[in-house]
Amino acid sequence: MLISQILDDAETIRVVARNGGGKTRVINGARSVYSLAMEAARTGVGLAALIERKGYGEAVDLDAVYKKGRLVSPINHPDPAHLHLTGTGLTHLGSAATRDSMHKKLSDGGEEQLTDSMKMFRMGLEGGKPAKGQTGVQPEWFYKGNGTMAVAPGAALMSPAFAQDAGEEPEIAGIYVIGDDGAPFRVGFTLSNEFSDHVTERVNYLFLAHSKLRNASFGPEILIGDLPADIRGSSRIYRDSNLLWEKPFLSGEANMSHTIANLEHHHFKYSAFRQPGDVHVHMFGTATLSFADGIRTQAGDVFEIEAGDFGLPLRNPLEIEEPVKVAVKAL
């Protein structure tokens, strides 16, 4: 089942769902995906079963809604400060090669040393898929911001004027709500663009935190159920309506050095991330970057990320913010 959120003519959120190649229909009585998920958590009824119980109303042409700019993020929170955008890196087979090329270190004799990226990647290979009941090695982790940094499918990703790069990262994200007792519940999985500044990151690995404080987009649809083990998608960039760059990307545990359960454990082990009612969008990493192929994006470019299991592709144009001078005033 795929679920998403649209705006009707009265600017009211409507939750819609579809199964396989079936029609997209409005879910009766659903005010938002967030309210549905919290109801499922409180009642102990599976989300798909809850949706079927509520039943369906009118059919919706989701592609047409997308083209009209009426799709919103597939989950939000009434208070954006209670939605957390986070992620993990160096989790995919092959991802270290891309990252390592950005973080090369040379010894006095000119020989390549093992970079921090390669050390982290090797740790994942050796301990990222623990035996059942065991805890695996913790991954690289980063914070992107709260719900104010989330961009709807079709809306522009805004790059700060001070950014050195504005690059896509095609990833799968897990969508979670925290129950009233502090227990995390997974709503499902979705496509995401973990938009980052790779030039800033390349200057020094300690700038990774700065490079990740950017917008992110996810959706348009949430896949309810298990994550496919082998996900094969495409990441593209269009410039002036022409294809500038395209490359396949792989995800799913068959292509990862960590299990999803291990990544989830190391995120939610922190009590700060188990606050009742909060929403989490946690991105699982990638091995595919246009930056690694020498692409430098510019305002007006359009990112497109697509994978068959996740419904409609995620598209976002790129815009550059106006420079802002910040001065702190004493009270």
How many residues are there in the chain? Answer: 331
Assign 142 to helix, strand or coil: strand
Query: Is the pTM above the cut of 0.85?
Result: yes
What pLDDT score was predicted for residue 12? 93
Query: In angstroms, rounded to a whole number, what is the distance separating the alpha carbons of residues 45 and 26?
Result: 20
Query: In angstroms, rounded to a whole number, what is the distance separating the alpha carbons of residues 262 and 331?
Result: 46
DSSP state for residue 3 in the 8-state scheme: E
Per-residue pLDDT of the chain (331 residues; tens, 9 = 90+): 999 999 998 889 999 999 977 899 999 999 999 999 999 999 999 999 999 999 999 999 999 999 999 999 999 999 999 999 999 988 988 766 665 655 554 344 444 567 787 888 888 889 999 998 899 999 999 999 999 999 999 999 999 999 999 999 999 999 999 999 999 999 999 999 999 999 999 898 899 999 999 999 999 999 999 999 999 999 999 999 999 999 999 999 999 999 999 999 999 999 999 999 999 999 999 989 999 899 999 999 999 999 999 999 999 999 999 999 999 999 9
Tell me which residue of 170, 176, 217, 175 sits closest to 66, measured CA to CA: 217
* 75-320, CATH topology level: Fumarylacetoacetate hydrolase; domain 2 (3.90.850)
Query: In angstroms, rounded to a whole number, what is the distance separating the alpha carbons of residues 286 and 250?
Result: 8
What pLDDT score was predicted for residue 96? 61
Contact between 221 and 190 (Cβ < 8 Å): yes
Tell me which residue of 266, 265, 195, 188 sits closest to 228, measured CA to CA: 188
